[in-house]
Amino acid sequence: MKFPSPVSVQWIASLINADAIGNINASVTGINEIHRVEPGDIVFVDHPKYYDQCIQSPASCIIINNKTNFPEEKSLLITENPFEAYLTIVRHFRPYQPLTKAISDSAVWGKHTILNPGVVIGHEVVIGDNCFIGPNVTIMDHCRIGNNVVIQSGTVIGSDAFYYNKKKNREVWYKRMVSCGRVVIENDVEIGAGCTIDRGVTHDTIIGQGTKIDNMVHIGHDTIIGKNCLLAAQVAIAGGVEIGNGVTLWGQVGINKTLVIEDNVTVLAQSGVPGSLKRDQIYFGTPAIEATIKKRELIWIKRIPELWKKVMENKDQ
């Protein structure tokens, strides 16, 4: 999430009641989680295991619960509970505003765009020209929809991320991180019925131009899908995934979090993808591997009873 204008590190320190050290005269431009952090951003960390990852990231300012070594050009904001500090910042810059009507007065849409009955559109939503928004579609706050976009019945755009801060030393182990990112849908995208596309935790979930999505597809927070992709029914993509251009995911493919699928990959139906995939290949199986190798494996698996029978016959001789 970008702030409306840059703010000083000292002002942020005052907001969250933290001790500022390092480059305290610097300004920050937004807040982000570690997988999408950019220069000028604030990031938070509350476990020593991840201190170095956050401090060496592009972030300019780190909210942290202990003093540690850090580059002199950066600043640390030391506070007992960095997670609560993160929530304070998000709620200050993007407070929750309940809807009092189905379509917010601050939502705008372009010429020849059709909004069908039952549509709900949140605050500060922008929809382009020549779009079709089907019955009972929900588009939550701050989302951006391009031109010539089709969204079929019952789809939810911009639901909160499935993203929790976990601590076993408290009564409630899982505390939800408030989502302040957006969903950005580019031109000429088509989305089927009953899909869910989560907003970014702090960044954007992006669906690239020309991508077509079938019914009952789930796309997790902060995922970036490239241009001209095809996603068949019941595909499920976890958070923080980067998918290139021209990728095809056939029915019921499952994609693990924070991995990269390069350009022009095809993943065949019911495959499970636990790791990144190289470009211009066809993958199959769980875990997904190159389809030609997997198919040879399946042929040999079918031959196991025949081979076992021969082994036993030879044993008896």
Q: Report the catalytic residues.
A: 221
SS3 56: coil
Q: Which of 42, 45, 78 is nearest to 60 (CA)?
A: 42
**Residue 53 carries which DSSP code?**
H
In angstroms, rounded to a whole number, what is the distance separating the alpha carbons of residues 83 and 74?
A: 20
* Helices assigned H by DSSP within the chain: 9-16, 51-55, 82-93, 291-302, 304-316
Q: How many CB atoms neighbour CB 102 within 10 A? A: 12
What does residue 270 show for φ and ψ, rounded to 5 degrees?
A: 65, 25
Most distant CA atoms of the chain, gap in Å: 86
Handedness of CA 274, 279, 284, 290 (dihedral sign): negative
Cα–Cα distance measured from residue 242 to residue 259, given in angstroms and rounded to the nearest whole number: 6
Distance CA 46, CA 40 (A): 20
Half-sphere exposure of 69 (CA within 13 A, CB side): 1
User: Cα(68)–Cα(58) distance, rounded to whole angstroms?
Assistant: 17
Distance CA 84, CA 80 (A): 9
Q: Is 55 helix (H, G, I), strand (E, B) or coil?
A: helix
